[in-house]
Chain A
């Protein structure tokens, strides 16, 4: 455990300048937005900017934290150290999350200070539970991106997995709904990974804004509370998946084609299916899917299985689209 503590402390010391820069940028941005909101004719709390900042860093920090593991050269050193991969996985999970929390907390505290010192009509007491709940929701997003980035074998694939993964879970459920009921129902309420934070922030904006709007806003917003169940489960699954992948992924796979089921392999046909069935632009979507496969295979030479999957996705989209 001594080595673990020393390495965690080393990682945090190595990243403190980056964390400081991110915190300063976030504080500047949030202050500018909140002050503008307060000075407008219809003052708002500007809580959404805190959510945006949390969303951005829950996306970016996992990529920065695991980026060095996408380079075969680095793995020769990092995996030869006297620390187990399970501990390394935990260490990066903690190190990244500490950075997110520090940036977000600093931004949040400055935002609170500005709101408190201005003569605003807000119920500022709601800021406190918002902080803790937003961090809990942030942890879902953080685990999500850590998992998707970790599934890739290169940095570029990792970034693309994160970007494409944003809609992945709802797309999977949506596909199931489409096949079972012929239309998406449940999954349209939780389309992307930022939805829980968006929902939470909207709810607290109602509560903070004015006591008159509490019942109306809360009633409307609370209707969709159950979205936290799938997203909470996804957050836990992503954390478990991240630890599993990190500790078991062979170093020699690094730099190879990213062949994970949580990547191009499923994303290209599923997104292709949805795009084609909604837009009905078959040729355009086919070209997009082909481009996806070229990126996936890092070659213009595709496998027979890729073409079969592409064909099946387009055929299914035609049947459902028409």
Chain B
């Protein structure tokens, strides 16, 4: 278990994280979400040991991550992974075997072949997505206890995304890997994360089970026989109202079984509940915080 306790960090004069508390369990997949510049990458770098926190502590299975040895169980894949002019998949394999002696070459080669990558070719000639695929192969072949992924889906095509998600699920199920993954692709996160942490205003503003959280909002489509005014929803806990003629799509903050009778009382001609996803929930959540106009 990785425990983040009262973590604070500044980049230069700017305070980026303040009093962050978070727990990542083994065998769980946590999505790290937040707007650009919220501090997601900084948090991942602090856990990985790239940055040293100004205050607070990060503990991995009882050992402080300030101690380098404790990092042996963690694999960090940054948004722009390491390579030099001469780096190839093969040379990366040699480098990572130094620090992760348990690295399974067979698994690495299996994923490389699955992604259609040549381990002898210089990485500098790879596209961003190919480089990411190579690193994903490396990360999975290390079979770390904890996997930190920054902007994990960036540059991956739909097929590669699918293969990536399957591979992560396999690592979680077979090895009990704990995954902390930051991404702006919330629909992708919803597919395979079981919990999330929202970084906002320098701290973990919200966290918990994704499905439970999505249920905090509900969306309905209604149609009325007569023209109507949006003011009919006054007093409702509305997150969003989109009116088009006699049709309206309304997102309410609250459980659907609680909201349904209230809306039915308006006697709409058509009344239909629509599914909410994590991305919509995120938009309403950050909208409430004043980021969206």
Contact = CB atoms under 8 A, between A and B. Distances in A.
Q: Do A and B come from one complex?
A: yes
Interface of A: 3, 6-7, 10, 13-14, 68, 73-85, 87, 250-252, 256
A140 to B, nearest CB: 29
Interface residues of B, number: 27
Nearest to B94: A10
B69 A82 contact: yes
Given A76-B76, A77-B81, 18 more contacts: A3-B98, A6-B98, A7-B98, A10-B94, A10-B98, A76-B45, A76-B78, A76-B82, A77-B78, A79-B48, A80-B48, A80-B71, A81-B99, A82-B71, A84-B68, A87-B68, A251-B50, A251-B51
Contacts of A74: 82, 84
B82 A77 contact: yes
Nearest to A2: B101
Contacts of B160: none
A34 B94 CA distance: 41
Contacts of A76: 45, 48, 50, 76, 78, 80-82
Interface string B191-235: 000000000000000000000000000000000000000000000
B198 to A, nearest CB: 23
Given A10-B98, A82-B68, A82-B99, A73 B51 contact: no
A75 B50 contact: yes
Contacts of B95: 10
B49 A80 contact: yes
The 3 tightest CB contacts between A and B, nearest first, are: A77-B82, A76-B78, A82-B72
For A77, A80, A87, A251, the residue with the greatest tally of chain B CB atoms inside 10 Å of its CB is A80
Interface string B89-104: 0010011001100000
Contacts of A84: 67-68
B48 A252 contact: no
B179 to A, nearest CB: 16
6 contacts: A7-B98, A68-B84, A73-B82, A76-B50, A79-B49, A252-B51
A56 to B, nearest CB: 22
B136 interface: no
B11 A252 contact: yes
Contact of B51 (A7, A85, A250): A250
A78 B98 contact: no
Contacts of B76: 76-77, 80
Max chain B C-beta neighbours (<10 A), residue from A7, A14, A77, A252: A77
Contacts of A10: 94-95, 98
Nearest to A9: B98
Contacts of B52: 250
A77 B150 CA distance: 12
B45 A251 contact: yes
A73 B74 contact: no
Given A84-B68, A252-B51, A3 B99 contact: yes
Nearest to A74: B82
B50 to A, nearest CB: 4
A60 B82 CA distance: 23
Contacts of A78: 82
Interface string B53-67: 000000000000001
Nearest to B11: A252
B50 A79 contact: yes
A201 to B, nearest CB: 35
Contacts of B98: 3, 6-7, 10, 81
Instruction: Kindly name the residue among A3, A78, A81, A85 whose own CB sees the greatest number of chain B CB atoms within 10 A.
Output: A81
A83 B99 CA distance: 8
Contacts of B12: 252, 256
A83 B72 CA distance: 9
A68 B95 CA distance: 14
Interface in B85-142: 91, 94-95, 98-99
Nearest to B41: A76
B54 to A, nearest CB: 10
A81 B50 CA distance: 9
Contact of B74 (A80, A250, A251): A80
Contacts of A77: 76, 78, 81-82
